[in-house]
Chain A
Amino acid sequence: SQTIHQWPATLVQPVGSPLSLECTVEGTSNPNLYWYRQAAGRGLQLLFYSVGIGQISSEVPQNLSASRPQDRQFILSSKKLLLSDSGFYLCAFLTGREAFFGQGTRLTVV
């Protein structure tokens, strides 16, 4: 069966520190992968998506970057976090025409 793993579940980081969130998918090959951010009480904002290894598309300009070093691995990074980077980060993968989400990482930048 197809599963998605995302970690860590919660993270508290100081302003100016780096960030690395990892997402891995099992049970499927060459999936479309997505990073979303959800602000408190808000919908999901698409940050990055990838249709293959090394292929990253950015949806909004910001302090974050993404990479896909392996087929089923998607990484969200920042060199220096800002307070405005706080939020709930969700990774998702596509199977057929249905997208499934990980359990999310709650990031608080202090």
Chain B
Amino acid sequence: QKEVEQDPGPLSVPEGAIVSLNCTYSNSAFQYFMWYRQYSRKGPELLMYTYSSGNKEDGRFTAQVDKSSKYISLFIRDSQPSDSATYLCAMSAGDSSYKLIFGSGTRLLVRP
């Protein structure tokens, strides 16, 4: 079993839709959770970072963490064609190495 599972998609939605991206994990030691966006042939860029259960909002993006269920989500409101990218969840146990373990990524296409 992979430590982090993520639906690879692709996910195709019309412009303006609400998008829900999800990851599950098996390692209860994970304490820090991140979402990255990656455009084709580019390095990932950090979108959201959180370390506690609950919701964190930043503009059109909301990150949700449920540690009891080992489940994290990223919601995108009013999705735009420019949101079309691959979204990667990542998590870390927060020890000195702070190794980030990534999901396989979900490819999102927002249709105009």
Contact = CB atoms under 8 A, between A and B. Distances in A.
Contacts of A43: 4, 6, 88, 102-105
Contact of A97 (B6, B41, B98, B102): B98
Interface stretch (B13-21, B45-53, B66-74, B77-85): B45-53
Given A43-B6, A97-B94, A34 B100 contact: yes
B6 to A, nearest CB: 7
Contacts of B42: 103-104
Contacts, number: 64
Interface of A: 6, 32, 34, 36, 41-46, 49, 51, 57, 59, 88, 90, 92, 94, 97-104, 106
Contacts of A41: 8, 105, 107
B97 A101 contact: no
Contacts of B88: 43-44
A106 B42 CA distance: 10
21 contacts: A34-B99, A41-B8, A41-B105, A42-B104, A43-B88, A43-B102, A43-B103, A43-B105, A44-B102, A46-B101, A49-B99, A57-B97, A59-B99, A88-B41, A97-B32, A97-B49, A99-B46, A99-B100, A101-B44, A104-B42, A104-B43
B51 A97 contact: yes
A45 B102 CA distance: 7
